[in-house]
Amino acid sequence: MNPQTWFITGASSGLGEAIAHSALRAGHRVAVTARDNARLERLVVHYPKHVLALSMDLAKPAEIKAAVTDAEDWHGGIDVLVNNAAIGYAAAIEEGEEQKIRALFDTNFFGVAATIRAALPKMRARAAGVIINVSSMSGLVSFPGLGYYSATKFALEGLNDALAQEVGPLGIKVMSIEPGGMRTGIVGRNLRSPEIDDYAPTAHAILNMIRNDTEGVYAPSDINLIGDLLVRMVNSGDLPLRLSLGGDSWSAIMAKLDSLRAEYERYKDEAYSTQFS
């Protein structure tokens, strides 16, 4: 297997760092990004010849273009792009604050789209490349208190589907991964807003359950196993359009699909009733 160049956003901790370690152990080169590249020092120390640490803020398009260009110049191109960086926002819909909502979309959706656009020209020129977008089970199943976060991931799922159809004929593979709960520490870093008491039984109940999960009951997936799996799948070339990760993700998505089909089937006659006779 020839060494590949991976480009992983948000690699200073959590899933991004785990994927980086997996790719490096497999003998690949990895360009990693964080808003502060000093936070990437652990990777640089362990793999000084195989890691390129880059500063990149997904809310700043100029930094995205510069980082992608640096990674492409490093060893002749990006073979695997992993859009991992994201932030969370814990709030009922009414509790949402404009500035935080826009910051969430800037990172979780607009920044991802900009990174893809920056990487595609060189991938198209080589007629090769893999793009892995880190979505979430919340990209298909929305929960009280996580509506804005889910909205960013729903948007990413839509982009992923169209992108795969556009670039598949050009030799570029696209996959969305949909993890359930992972032990990454992201819950403690979630953006938050002042709470409205009326949402205590719904949004706040879900959020408190997650925040107080000291035993990891609601974060059952091992990020290191996810990293190793993704490297194996990229190596095999067998990449589905979307991949559920974790038993909690699988169960929630299957239940949602069953519910959607039942609801649409129930109102099939109403759907057809609006057509011209």
Structure tokens, 91: 């709030």
pLDDT at residue 217 in the model: 56
Contact 190, 90 (CB under 8 A): yes
pLDDT at residue 191 in the model: 82
pLDDT at residue 201 in the model: 95
pTM over 0.85: yes
Cα separation, 38 vs 41, in Å, equals 6
Burial annotation 222-233 (CB, 10 A radius, 16+ → b, else e): ebeebbbbbbeb
pLDDT at residue 187 in the model: 58
| Block residue for tokens 């979430």 | 136
CA proximity to 225, closest of 185, 254, 182? 182
In the chain, which residues have pLDDT < 50? none
pLDDT at residue 181 in the model: 87
Q: Would you list the domain boundaries of the chain? A: 5-247
pLDDT at residue 220 in the model: 81
Residues belonging to the active site: 135, 149, 153
C-alpha pair distances (Å), 3 with each of 77, 197, 215, 219, 229? 12, 54, 38, 32, 17
pLDDT tens string 169-183: 999 999 999 999 886
pLDDT at residue 186 in the model: 60
Decide if domain 5-247 falls under CATH 3.90.1210.10.
no
